[in-house]
Amino acid sequence: MKKILVGIKRVVDYNVRVRVKPDGSGVMLDGVKMSINPFDEIALEEALRIKERGEAEEVVVVTMGAADCQQQLRTALAMGADRAIHIESNDPIEPLTGAHILQKLVEREQPFLVILGKQSIDGDNNQTGQMLAQLWNRPQATFASKVELSAKAAKVTREVDAGLETIEVDLPAVITTDLRLNEPRYVKLPDIMKAKKKPLETLPVADLGVELKTRVKILKTEPPAARQKGKMVKDVSELVAALRQKGLV
């Protein structure tokens, strides 16, 4: 069976204003709306479109974290994923550990394609996809804004600093998605009801033989500095004078 494995992460909804805890130990999560990481939602949408074109037979979605993460898996199933896997852990999972977990699932599921968001909006690491490709010893195509599949290869248009770059990689492969790849579909109530009957498997990290290691320790979290108030100017000469006063021209 031709499978696509999609990784998703539970993050604070991008519409929510993030607040830092008073002691600086992290971000306040109590009572905060949580959602699928936007880049991961795009990855899932692309996998579903590939399946709808008849180029895949099954879409399997996976996430890692505490029991609350199942809410996002149910959303993914409502979008159209066939099956979900929850790797349960109450401890933080760093990118390299996440890549090792995904590698174990790749060995078990044997997908011809793994699609991940290029980064999560909380950590912004942009590492897991690249690390998985190395561990799996398969090609990678990152920052995808267009994906075209053939029998044995994927043609991927990437967004790079100089513009767009088109590459072709042999399958199986790892693809990470950028924002302009697609527009994720809206989840309807009937789909949410159907998702409750779809299989959702829960596995402890230990069952995969992956050791949780802490390589990075967050010492302190601080909110960004407040922006300075803007100043209105009447004309160009006043603007130039203000810039000169600040030493910018």
- Would you say 121 and 108 are in contact if contact means Cβ atoms under 8 Å apart? no
Asked, as a colleague might, if the bond just before 95 is cis with ω within 30 of 0, I would say no
Q: Is residue 70 part of a domain?
A: yes
The whole-chain average pLDDT of the chain stands at 92
Structure confidence by residue, pLDDT tens digits, 210-227? 988 888 888 888 888 888
Q: Is residue 210 part of a domain?
A: yes
Q: Is residue 136 part of a domain?
A: yes
pTM of the predicted model, to two decimals?
0.88
Structure confidence by residue, pLDDT tens digits, 159-176? 888 889 999 999 999 999
Residue with tokens 């009801």: 193
Q: Is residue 183 part of a domain?
A: yes
Q: Is residue 76 part of a domain?
A: yes
Q: Is residue 33 part of a domain?
A: yes
User: How many domains are contained in the chain?
Assistant: 1
d(CA 110, CA 126): 24
d(CA 83, CA 102): 15
Asked, as a colleague might, if the bond just before 190 is cis with ω within 30 of 0, I would say no
Phi, psi dihedral angles at 169 (to 5 degrees): -125, 145
Q: Which CATH number is 87's domain given?
A: 3.40.50.620
Q: Is residue 157 part of a domain?
A: yes
180 alpha carbon, distance to own chain's centre:
14
Neighbouring residues of 224: CB distance < 8 A, sequence distance ≥ 6: none
Q: Which domain holds residue 43?
A: 3-219
Q: Is residue 56 part of a domain?
A: yes
